Copies of this chain bind each other. A is one copy, B any other.
Amino acid sequence: MKVTSSEASDAASSPLAVPGVSVGTVEAGIRYPGRRDLVALSFHEGTTAAAVFTRNAFCAAPVIVAREHLKRCDFKPRLLLINTGNANAGTGEPGMDVARRSCEEAAALLGLSASEVLPFSTGVIGEDLPVDRLVAALPELIDARSPDQWEAAAHGIMTTDTRPKAGSRRFSAQGKDYVLTGIAKGAGMLRPDMATMLAFLATDAPIAADVLDSLLRRAVEASFHRITVDGDTSTNDAVVLAATGASGDSLCENADSELAHMFAQALESLCLELAQGLVRDGEGASKFVEISVSGGADEAECLDVAFTIAHSPLVKTALFAGDPNWGRVLAAIGRAGLAELDVTGVRILINESIIAENGARAAGYVESKVAELMRRDELRLGIELGRGDARAAVWTSDFSYDYVRINAEYRS
């Protein structure tokens, strides 16, 4: 077993330091006093990076600037600058100036070019980011950096999260040991105006930017893109992966090498842990639900079915109630758009119990037994389509009174 979850893989323990990365936090007073609301991740010279940004057509100013800078610095950024309290989204041209100025000021202090700094913001949207307060806090932030501040950074990037999300993996290739550490915040796509999904990961393995890019896209596809709370996406979502190469080995440029393979495994495992952590911490979520679809003609149709179920408010309120309402699941499958679906071949399971088949309640179905399963905090809703060998899973939560309360009262 070459990839191991560190003892520190759950959020309660400390994430591992990554050679070549130093981390700092500071109170800048962006929105609330007494919050360490400005975070820096700085990287050793020669660090390579890749990033995945929101697919929303409305991108916040920092997303546009980060994308520009990443390209301009040839995928070798030296500093990630992350503020909470204000998303700098829906702020027009003035917001672009603010994002650029933050990078310029930080770069000047560190003797970097502005394009080596990538800005990230999360918080309220449509309000001007108080850039002077951010800039005033930069010198203290830069002084505060040290290798062991990952946990403070995981706290620093939180907005309405109730707990930090951080984890590490150790992996080895060709006799060398490496580490991968990541932090994440946000309740998935739960609240685009205050809970943008952000994740930052770094390894000391030496991996070329284009290899990082393809491995990150694959890992994100199987993790952050397979969680949903309510189907909404944010204007600020971003996942960044950096490889410092601080181990001093020569750069891995081959996606089929042993190192790339071992790293990919660690990356996928950590991204999945962080992504599931976001769903578990979704405010108003009382249940963590895996929706697992098998027997599809291809993976795409398995995902269509899984997301249609995961986005159904009727299914989500039934999950909240602990009601094994297979009729709602069946109706969601029926509108997922599958061509020539033979409905008599579909089975629905809760954990390992078959609750519906042949278009009707399963013969051995005992409601009290299934209702007991559904009262648990975590459950698996299985769908067997009976038309092929493909499978896919997504992770979601339920719709509760708290979901309405949090999202209805949020700005008041």
Instruction: Using CB atoms and an 8 Å cutoff, list the residues of chain A in contact with chain B.
Output: 55-58, 89-92, 95, 125-126, 190-193, 230-235, 311-314, 317-318, 320-321, 323, 325-328, 330-335, 338, 341, 343, 356, 358-361, 399-401, 403-405, 407-412
Contacts and interface: CB of A to CB of B under 8 A. Distances in A.
B408 A327 contact: no
Contacts of A126: 326-327, 356, 360-361
Contact of A359 (B90, B321, B327, B334): B90
Nearest to A407: B317
Given A399-B313, A408-B318, A408-B323, A331 B56 contact: yes
Contact of A403 (B190, B325, B331, B404): B404
Contact of A314 (B192, B311, B317): B192
Chain copies in complex: 2
Given A126-B326, A312-B232, A360-B91, A55 B335 contact: yes
B232 A331 contact: yes
B404 A360 contact: no
A334 B57 contact: yes
Nearest to A409: B321
Nearest to A400: B404
A267 to B, nearest CB: 26
Contacts of A341: 57
A334 B56 contact: yes
A231 B361 contact: no
Contacts of A343: 57-58
A311 to B, nearest CB: 7
B57 A335 contact: yes
A359 B407 contact: no
Nearest to A355: B126
* Residue of A125, A312, A327 with highest tally of chain B CB at under 10 A: A327
Contacts of A318: 407-408
Contacts of A399: 313, 404
Which 4 pairs, one residue from A and one from B, show the smallest C-beta to C-beta distance? A58-B334, A321-B408, A317-B407, A92-B360
Contacts of A400: 404
A61 to B, nearest CB: 9
Contacts of A55: 335
